[in-house]
Amino acid sequence: MEEHIKRMIDEFNQLEERASKLNLFIETNDIFKTLPKEKQDLMRLQLQGMRVYEYALNKRIALEDI
């Protein structure tokens, strides 16, 4: 497998883990509920951006001949 493909897969895996942790924090941690609305909104926006990034990386990986 080419090195750039390995890097994309590693990046995707790291991003997926971070996005999952952020999502878990948003969905289940009581601390999140105590944050100001603006911070909550920014965290949700960050998660949304991470999911778009995940999607793009996943599509790029899928287009490679692995």
Q: Is the pLDDT of residue 66 over 70?
A: no
Domain spans of the chain, in order of start: 3-63
Q: Which residues contact 11 (CB under 8 A, 6 or more apart)?
A: 57
Q: Which residues contact 41 (CB under 8 A, 6 or more apart)?
A: none
Each residue of 33-60: pLDDT tens digit? 999 999 999 999 999 999 999 999 999 9
Q: Name the residue with tokens 């952020």.
A: 22
What pLDDT was estimated at residue 1?
84
| pTM metric for this prediction | 0.89
